[in-house]
Structure 1
């Protein structure tokens, strides 16, 4: 049996570790300067936790913004908890790292995109759709995005 190195999954794990490290720093010290995050995640992930009304509004994926107001940020090994404001209604969320589709910090034009092999097999356009995001003038899709699945066989 032939063995090979699965670079795609190794890179995804490393990139999720980077997100965990960044969020832990924010949890410990707050958001520095103009940094803020657009995080798109799969709301169908079995471990994702969000209010029923949010799951109904975003049945497949949701983009949240961590910028001016967030609370109760708790970073764990498999995901993070955070309370965000949706139209003056604070809502707790739990986002597993493996549910994250994109992580973007437009203040420094940094972004990560996690794609699966099915994304390209289905003939989908690899550019993310425009998402409803809470009040922010920045476009998360202007950031440099690192996509590694094009190297995966």
Structure 2
């Protein structure tokens, strides 16, 4: 994505015949959270990592969240990655495992929330670039990111001057 190899658009609803079980599981979970957004905006790697492309995440879904006064959550964009877990179950990217109890791929995906500005209709794509960078780090280092991990980022996350 950083090198311009990504695209932005709305996906078709995944079905069992055209996507893997891991991707379907992520989509179903997102649809439970966002039933009113069956075709969320997405950033996609035009040339998938498993086809020699530079970006390890196949897709990054971008959902509009209205927020909640109960949880003191403001309106925000919710970004959800696909590709750190095993999306297809066929060893094209992750070693195939017959152990259904073990983790899928790296065993996690990344999410990112960004406060939505009043009147903002489209999500910024810079968080998708950031998530691809984190995914590249995970693939190169084989590091497991765990709840509570912190990553020092010695510059603005959106790479814009203050």
* TM-score (structure 2 length as normaliser): 0.25
* Structure with the higher strand share, 1 or 2: 1
Q: TM-score, normalised by structure 1?
A: 0.26
Q: Which structure carries more helix by proportion? A: 1
